[in-house]
Chains A and B, each alone.
Chain A
Amino acid sequence: MNWDVIAEHWQLFARGVGISLALTAGTAVLGLLLSVPLAFARNAERRLLSAPVAAFTFVIRGTPALVQLYLIYYGLSQFEAVRGSVLWPWLSNAGVCALLAFTLNTTAYTTEIFHGALKSLPRGELEAAMSFGMSRWTLVRRILTPSMLRRALPQYANEIIMLLHMSSLAGLVTLIDITGAARYVNAEFYLAFEPFITAGALYLVITLLLVRLFAAAERRWLVHLRPRTP
């Protein structure tokens, strides 16, 4: 055991935590913004609207995130048109590629979670809103979206934790996130156990914090759905 090496490289791990958190947070925000409209589209009666979204979630959920990341990071360089385009400085950046791949992935899963929540909304909520004469848009904005987000909260919390763990794939495409830092120490000092135990502990701490955060959110927004205790 040689923990001194880890202690000497604490800055590397600290920066790694920063990158992992930034990737997770950035992906979570983008994914949330995309999934809400997509969940409504997935739930639409018109097949023209729902079928493409269903196909998107099926393909993304049916393939590994690692393959998606490699397709974007390594794959896109195959095309002359991509390499020559104005977007190339971004698309050749590992951080942007990771953000893109993870956003795609979490959007698919979150869309399905929201779609499930939307389908399970009690009819009464809808009828009450309609009897107030709310327009379609008002109904979506005031009733369906908030109610959907609340009901999806427990599953969504899980998705965010999976997202944090998925962000560890960024360490494979040259990014120095938590896993990247561990891989660097592993390669440089030929230590396997210490850096990866450290990485695991860091992920565990962040996960525990996320669990706390979402438990607080559920206490705040899901209190009306809790089983009543005498």
Chain B
Amino acid sequence: MLVKSTALVSVLGLEDIMFRAKNAAQATRQPFTFFLLTAAVYLLITTASVLALRWFERRGAHGATRPAPMPAAATLRDAT
């Protein structure tokens, strides 16, 4: 959530990826290309942070006993 909020600083003129992308889009008249590139960079960052968090979570949970799985998970496959 936080990483994506940082895109807002470009509105204030801070020279982050979004700001650079806007300039490049204007200069080259290829806004789609550059904003798509920006989106890809953000996706890379969020994916990396999700993976890192998952790793920490698994590390932190090491040794903790897992509660028995809840008898839930209602899905359509049960109905058929």
- A133 to B: closest C-beta gap in Å: 11
A13 within 8 A of B: no
- Kindly list chain B residues whose C-beta atoms are within 8 Å of the C-beta of A122: 72, 74
Give chain B residues whose Cβ lies under 8 Å from the Cβ of A65.
4
CB contact list, A34-75 vs B, under 8 A = 40, 43-45, 59, 61-68, 70-71, 74-75
Cα distance, A74 to B75, chains bound together (Å): 41
Q: Would B72 and A70 count as touching, CB distance under 8 A?
A: no
Looking at the assembled complex, report how far the CB atom of A195 sits from the nearest CB atom of chain B, in whole angstroms.
Answer: 15
Q: How far is the CA of A202 from the CA of B69 in the complex (A)?
A: 45
Q: Which residues on the A side are within 8 Å of B31 (C-beta)?
A: 70-71, 74-75, 77-78
Q: Are B42 and A136 in contact (CB under 8 A)?
A: no
Which chain A residue shows the least CB distance to B4? A64
Q: Given A64-B5, A67-B42, A75-B31, are A118 and B74 neighbors across the interface (CB < 8 Å)?
A: yes
Task: Classify chain B's interface size.
Answer: 20 to 34
Question: How would you classify the secondary structure of chain A's contact residues: helix, strand, loop or mixed?
Answer: helix
Cβ of A79 within 8 Å of any chain B Cβ, yes or no, is yes
A121 at the interface (CB under 8 A from B): yes
Q: Is A149's beta carbon under 8 Å from chain B?
A: no
A148 to B38, CA, bound (A): 35
Range of interface residues on chain A?
Answer: 35 or more
B61 in contact (CB, < 8 A) = no
Which residue of the partner chain A has the closest CB to B26? A74
Residues of B within 8 A of A121 (CB): 72, 74
For A129, list chain B residues within 8 Å (CB).
79
A144 and B74 in contact, given A62-B42, A79-B32 (Cβ under 8 angstroms) = yes
Contacts of A130 in B (CB 8 A): 78-79
Contact A126 B74 (CB under 8 A): yes
Residue in contact with B36 in the complex, picked from A43, A75, A123, CB distance below 8 Å: A75
Q: Which residues of A contact B (CB under 8 A)?
A: 40, 43-45, 59, 61-68, 70-71, 74-79, 118-123, 125-126, 129-130, 136, 139-140, 144, 172
11 A-B pairs besides A43-B76, A63-B46, A123-B71 with CB distance below 8 A are A62-B42, A62-B46, A64-B7, A65-B4, A67-B35, A70-B21, A70-B22, A74-B25, A119-B72, A136-B79, A144-B74
